[in-house]
Chain A
Amino acid sequence: MFGLKTDWSLEVLPRYFTLEDYEGGMARWCPGCGDHGVLAAVQRICRDAQLKPESTVSVSGIGCSSRFPHYMKTYGFHGLHGRALPVACGIKSRRPELTIWVATGDGDCCSIGAAHWVHAIRYNMDMVVMLFDNNVYGLTKNQTSPTSRPGSKTNTHPRGSFLPPLNPALTTLSISNVSFVAQTVDWNPVHVYATLKAAYEHKGLSFVRILQRCPQYTPKVFEEAQRDPSLMLLLEHEKGVQADPAGTKIYTNRTQHDPSDINAARQIASREDVIPIGLLFRDADRPRYEEFSSLGADVTIEEKVQALEKELDRFAI
C-alpha cells in the first residue's frame, strides 16, 4: 500500500460538476456566431472551478449576446436593454458569495447602458463583465453601434456611418477604480478561454472586451486581422493572460506588457494599427463596493429591534 493514500475513497467530492451541469437550453444564436465559443469557455471555467450552479448567476441586458443566461444552467437574469450592470451590482451587494457573469453587447453596454458601465467600473464589484463587441446591433437587424467603424453601411446609415468609434478598452481604462481590463477575439477560442479564466480569478470587476464578428451583418469586420496575424498584438507577461502557447503561436507580433502599468495599458489600448489582445491592466488592490454594501448581514433580529426602539426613543415625546 506504500505510496497510496488509504483513505482515497473519502476524497471523492460529494458533488462533482461536469460541463452538463452548466449547459442550459440549446443556444439559438446563428451558426458561426462567436457567442457559442464564449459560452463554451465560461462553462469550462465553471466546471474547472467546480462552481456550484446554484451559487452562480449569469446576468445580461438585451441583445443577441444577452441571451447568454438562457444557455447556462445556473441562476440567470435576462433583464432590460442596457441595465445588466445595475442588476448585477444589486445581486452582489448583499450576496457577495455569489459568482456573477455579466453578458453585454456593444449597444447594451457602450450606448444605452453607458452610464452604468462607467459607474460599475468604479464600483468594482467582483464579477466578470464580458463585452461581446461585434460592432453592430444584431438582434434589431443591423444598425450602427457605438463601436462601428466609420463608413459602416447599416440600416440606419446606408451611405456609411459618420463618427469614429468609441474605444471600450481605452474608455474603461480611464475610469477611476478600474481594476481589470483585457481584450480577446472570438476567432481564437484558446485565448478567449485563458482571458476569461484570468478574469474569473481576479477579485474585482473584470472587464473583458471580446471582439467578434456577426456572421449575419459584420462577417468581414476583422477579415484583415484574421488573414494577417501580424495585425494582432499579443500582450505577454508573467502577470498577464497565460494562454496555451499552441493557440497563440501564430502571433508573431508580441510585446511584454506589465499589466500593473496603467499608462502603458492606455497607450496600447489606443493603438489603431494593431488589435492588442491579452491583459491590459490589473490591480487587485482596488476597493470593491461589496466590501461596504454587504456590511451588517450579521446583525440579528434582536439587535435590529433594539436599534429600532432606540431610534423611536429619539422621536418620543
Chain B
Amino acid sequence: MESGRNSAVVHEQGAARQVREAIVEIVSDSGEGAQKAGQSFATVCAKMGNGVWTVEIIPAEIKPPARSRAGASGIRIRFGSKAVTNMGDQADVVVAFNEQVLYGRIMADAFREGTVILLENRWAKDADEQIRDMYATAVEDFRARGLIVHELPLHEACLKYTTDPRLGKNMFVLGMLCHIYQLNLDLAANEVRAAFKKKGDKVIEQNLALLRGGGEFAAENLTYRFNVPAMPTRQDLVVTNGNQAVGLGVMASGMDLVSMYPITPATSATHYLAGVFQNLGGFIHQAEDEIAAIGFAIGASYAGKTACTITSGPGLALKTEFIGLAVMAEVPLVIVDVQRGGPATGLPTKIEQGDLFAALYASPGDAPKVVMAAATIEECFHMVITARKLAESFRTPVILLTDANLATGQTPYARPRVREDWMAAPIDQSPWPEGVTPYEWDPETGLSRRPIPGQRGGQYVLTGLAHTKQSHVAYDPRANQVGCEMRSRKFAALASTLLPPKIHGDDQGDLLVVGWGSTLGTIDEAVERVREEGYRVSSIHLRFLSPLEPGLAEIFGRFKRVMTIELNYSDPPSGFGGDVQSARRAQLAQYLRAQTLCDVDYWSITPGQPLQPGQVHGVIMERLAAMGVVDQRAAAAHAG
C-alpha cells in the first residue's frame, strides 16, 4: 500500500495522478502574503472535503531583511483524503518567492530528494550582481541536494494583472496551486472575495484576475497535475486555528472578561476576540503588564465574574505570584498558556512544550492547581469550557496549556453544538447562610462554597496569608497544615472523577509512547506506521497533568518499556560525563517517574518546530532496537 508520505512527485505528463495526500509549502519574505494564500488554499481543500492541517512559518521579526535565510515567512499545508492531524514529513511541492528563504526550510528538514520547487526566477536577472550570483549558486546547490527546481517568471507573469506583483503574487500562486491540485476555482474565488471584502470591488477584481491568471500560467507552463480525492462528510465542520478556537471557547464558556497583555504567540486569540467579544457582552482588558492582567482577572473573579487571562511562557512566569494567591485564596480563574520556546525570550514565535514544570510548580510553597493540555485545535475550544467549569466547581485556578503549533495551525473539526448551560448563570446574590464560613471545607473533598461581594452576610476578607476556614490569619501551628490539606484534597476529589487515558493500539505490548499537547497527531501517526510494520507499540496522550489521569502505573506495567516523546529539552539518558543521577529528563517523563514510580524513558528535542511523524517513527524504531525487539540495521534503515 502506498503511504501518503511516499507520494513522490515526478515530472509526469498527461492526466492527473491520484495521491492520498500532499504537502505543499509557500515561502516568501515577510509581507508577501504567502500565509494568506496558504490559508485560502487550505480552506478550499477543507470545503472540498479533504482533511487539512496547516503550519505557519513565522520569522521572529515583523519585517526581517528581505531574502534572508532566517526571514522565511510562509505556510505549509498538508491535506489528504483522510483527516490530517499534523504537519507531516517532507514537502512535495514548494512555491518560493526567492531562493534564500528556502535555506531556512532546508535547515528545518522540510524537503526531501524529489521535492518540487517552483521558484521565482526574477533574481537571475536582478540589477545587483551579488543577488544574481547568490541566486545562481543556490539553484545549483538545490539541484545538487536532489530538489527538482523549476525557475518560473512569476513576477513577470503577474505584471499582466498588476503593477505591483509583490502585493498580488500570492493570489497568482493560489491559482497555480489550485490548478496543480485540481481544486475548485470558484471556491478559491470566494476566498479571494472574502479576503478583500473591505478593500472594495476594484481590488477584488484584480485579485480574481491574478487567481485565474495563476491557473492559466500553471496550465501552460507546468505538467504537474494531482488529485487528492476528497471524502466529503455530512457533519457540520468549522475551520479555525487554535487561538481562534480558544477565543470561541472563551465565549462559549460564558466568561465575559479576558484580561491580557500582548505576548506572542498568545495575542492573536485576543485579536480574534477583540472584534466579536462585545457581541456576547464580553470585555477585553489590555492591562499595563502581565501581573496586572492576572490581578485584574482575579479581582473580577473574586467579584463573581470568572475571568480568563491568556499568555505565553514569559507572561506565565510574571503571573506566578498571583497564581499562588488564587490557589491560597481559592479564586476561580482560567489561565491559558500558549507555550513558546523558553527560557527568557527564547523562541517567541516557535513551538515548545517547555512550560509543564512552570505550570505545575512555579508558585512558591505548595500551590496545587488544575493543569490541562489541549492536544488538538478542537480541544482548544472545548477545554476552555471545561476549564471554567472546573475553576468554579473546585474553586481553583486552572492552567490550560496549548502551544504555538496549535495556535497558528488550522484544521477542520466538528462544529461545536453550543449549549446554554455553558454560559455563566447570573451571579448568586442571595443572602449567605448564617453560620457558614467563607471556607467551609468539606473534610473529605476540601470543597467549599464561595461568598461573592453583594451577598448579604457573606462578608469576609480574602487574604493571601495562611488562613483558617473563617479566612482569619492563621496564627496557630495547625491552621496552615489544615489549609494546605484542604486545598490539596480538592485535587484528589477531581482526580477521582477522571477516566483513565484511552490507549491507542493494543492495551499491552513492547513499547508504550506517552505524549501530551499538540504532538498527538504526529505520535499517533508514527505509532500507526510501526504497528502496520508489525511492532507491538501503543500510545497514550494525557490531557490532565494535574491531577493526573488515573491508572497510569497499571497501564505502564503492561508494557515492557514506557517512553515519553516531548518537545522540550532533556540531557542524554546517561547524563553528561556519565552522571545519571543529575541527568535532566524530559518534563513529563520526570513527572511521571515521580508520580507513578515507574521507569519512564524519554526522547525530547527543542527544534522550535513541530515533530514530523517520520522522525518519531525513527525514534520508536531505535528504541525497539535498543530493546532487542528489532535488529539495529532495520532500525537504522527506518531512521535513515
Contact = CB atoms under 8 A, between A and B. Distances in A.
Interface in A9-67: 24-25, 52-55, 57-59, 62
B416 A312 contact: yes
Interface string B273-316: 00010111111010111011111111111111101000000000
B285 to A, nearest CB: 6
Interface string A81-92: 001011111111
B259 interface: yes
B238 interface: yes
Nearest to A315: B238
Interface of B: 43, 46-47, 236-240, 244, 248, 251-252, 254, 256-257, 259, 276, 278-283, 285, 287-289, 291-305, 307, 321-322, 325, 412, 415-416, 418, 420, 423, 451, 453-465, 472-473
Most interface-central of B47, B259, B293, B457 (chain A CB within 10 A): B259
Most interface-central of A25, A90, A118 (chain B CB within 10 A): A90
A220 B118 CA distance: 81
Given A70-B461, A77-B461, A305-B423, A317 B296 contact: no
Contact of A98 (B303, B325, B473): B303
Contacts of B299: 59, 77, 86-93
A75 B418 CA distance: 36
Contacts of B420: 301-302, 305
Contacts of B321: 80
B251 A311 contact: yes
A79 interface: yes
Contact of B300 (A52, A93, A292): A93
Most interface-central of A93, A94, A292 (chain B CB within 10 A): A94
Q: What band does the interface of chain A fall in when counting residues whose beta carbon is under 8 Å from B?
A: 35 or more
Contact of B248 (A89, A119, A301, A308): A308
Given A80-B325, A115-B292, A317-B412, A54 B459 contact: yes
A136 B287 CA distance: 29
Which are the 6 A-B pairs with shortest beta-carbon distances? A90-B299, A296-B281, A86-B295, A299-B281, A76-B461, A90-B296
Contacts of B254: 304
Contacts of B298: 79, 87, 90
A284 interface: no
A317 B465 contact: no
Given A78-B464, A80-B464, A95-B453, A73 B459 contact: yes
A303 B461 CA distance: 35
A94 B453 contact: no
Given A54-B454, A93-B300, A79 B418 contact: no
Interface of A: 24-25, 52-55, 57-59, 62, 69-70, 72-80, 83, 85-95, 97-98, 115-116, 118-119, 292-299, 301-305, 307-312, 315-317
Contact of B280 (A58, A86, A307): A307
Contacts of B297: 90
Given A75-B460, A317-B46, A119 B292 contact: yes
Contact of A94 (B248, B287, B300): B300
Contact of A79 (B257, B288, B303, B325): B325
A149 B43 CA distance: 66
B281 A297 contact: yes
A317 B454 contact: no
A176 to B, nearest CB: 13
23 contacts: A57-B453, A73-B459, A75-B451, A75-B459, A77-B302, A77-B462, A78-B461, A80-B295, A80-B325, A91-B300, A91-B302, A94-B300, A95-B454, A115-B288, A116-B288, A116-B295, A119-B287, A119-B288, A119-B292, A307-B279, A312-B416, A315-B239, A316-B236
Contacts of B453: 54-55, 57, 75, 91, 95, 98
A65 to B, nearest CB: 14
Nearest to B412: A317
A184 B423 CA distance: 47
A57 to B, nearest CB: 5
A69 B460 CA distance: 9
Nearest to B252: A308
Most interface-central of B321, B453, B454, B463 (chain A CB within 10 A): B453
A11 B453 CA distance: 28
A4 B459 CA distance: 39
Contacts of B462: 76-79
A304 B43 CA distance: 27
B332 to A, nearest CB: 13
Contacts of A25: 472
A55 B47 CA distance: 53
Contacts of B288: 115-116, 118-119
Contacts of A304: 251, 254, 280-281, 423
A98 B302 CA distance: 12
Given A75-B458, A80-B321, 15 more contacts: A75-B453, A83-B295, A83-B322, A91-B303, A93-B257, A94-B300, A95-B303, A115-B289, A296-B280, A296-B281, A301-B423, A303-B281, A304-B280, A308-B252, A312-B238
Contacts of B325: 79-80
Nearest to B432: A54
Most interface-central of A70, A76, A294, A304 (chain B CB within 10 A): A304
A295 B244 contact: no
A309 B305 contact: no
Nearest to A309: B418
A78 B462 CA distance: 6
